[in-house]
Amino acid sequence: AQSVSQHNHHVILSEAASLELGCNYSYGGTVNLFWYVQYPGQHLQLLLKYFSGDPLVKGIKGFEAEFIKSKFSFNLRKPSVQWSDTAEYFCAVISNTGKLIFGQGTTLQVKP
Amino acid sequence: ETGVTQTPRHLVMGMTNKKSLKCEQHLGHNAMYWYKQSAKKPLELMFVYNFKEQTENNSVPSRFSPECPNSSHLFLHLHTLQPEDSALYLCASSQEGTFTDTQYFGPGTRLTVL
C-alpha cells in the first residue's frame, strides 16, 4: 500500500533559520503531491501542490517544495522562517486508487 | 459564516450514546469528506460524498453512519462507539470529488468516548 513518511516529527528552529521538512512517498507511478499546514487554532489549509511541470513548486508565505522523482521525495523548504510559521505541516499524496494519503505530520516550533 | 464549519467542536460521549457531528460548507462545493485524525497517526479518509452520493467508504465500521442531505451539509451519526474511536474528526469540501481538487477543511470535532 502507498504510504507517506515524514521523518521529522518535531522541529525547533530560531527565527531566520532555514527550514527543510522531509517527505517521502512509496508510490512509483504518476503522483500528485501536497503540503498542508495547520496553524495553532486554525483549519488545515493547502500550502502548495505539485501535479506536473516544474518540479520546484512555490506556495504561499514563501514556502517551496521540490519534487525529486528519483528519490521519491517532496521536501518542503523556506529560506528564513518566522515565528508565525509555527504550525503542524502535513505532506500528502494521491495514491493509485485515487485516495489522498497523509503523512503523520511535522510540528514546527519557531523561537522568536 | 464562510468556509467549512463543524459542530460541536468538542464532544464527550459514553459507549452507549448516540450522537451526530455536523459539517456545513459555504463554498458552493459539490464534494464533502470525513477524515479521522488520531493521536500520532496520519489523517485517515473515512467517507466521500460527491453531489450527495457516497463515492467512498474507506472500510469504516458501521457504528459510523454518514448522511449527506444536500451538497452543503454532511453529518456523521455515531452509535455504540469504542474508546479507540476518540479522535479529531475533520470535515472537508472541494469543488468536485476528485482528490486533485484543493480540499478546504473545517476546524474539526474533538471526540472523546468514555
- The pLDDT tens digits of the residues spanning B94-112 come to 998 787 888 999 999 999 9
Contact criterion met (CB < 8 Å) for B104 and A45: yes
pLDDT level of residue B2 (50, 70, 90 thresholds): low
**Could you tell me if B9 and B112 are in contact, meaning their C-beta atoms sit under 8 angstroms apart?**
no
Q: Which of A51, A100, A104, A106 to mutate to test the interface with B (most CBs of B within 10 A)?
A: A100
- Which of A43, A49, A51 faces B105 most closely, judged by CB atoms? A43
Beta pairing partners, A64: A58, A77
Residues A38-48 have pLDDT tens digits of 999 888 999 99
pLDDT surpassing 80 at residue A29: no
Task: Using CB atoms within 10 Å of the CB of residue A63, give its burial: 0 to 12 exposed, 13 to 18 middle, 19+ buried.
Answer: buried
Closest among A39, A57, A59, A58 to A47, alpha carbons compared: A59
Nearest chain A Cα distance for residue B90, angstroms:
9
Nearest chain A Cα distance for residue B87, angstroms:
14
Q: Which residue has the higher pLDDT, B2 or B20?
A: B20
pLDDT score for A7: 87
CA gyration radius for chain B? 13
First-to-last CA distance in chain B? 32
**Could you tell me if B53 and B67 are in contact, meaning their C-beta atoms sit under 8 angstroms apart?**
no
B42 inside 8 A of chain A by CB? yes
Q: For residues A99 and B26, give the distance between their C-alpha atoms in angstroms, rounded to a whole number.
A: 24
pLDDT level of residue B27 (50, 70, 90 thresholds): very high
Residue type, A79: P
Nearest chain A Cα distance for residue B13, angstroms:
23
- Which of A46, A94, A103 faces B42 most closely, judged by CB atoms? A103
Average pLDDT value over all residues in chain A = 92
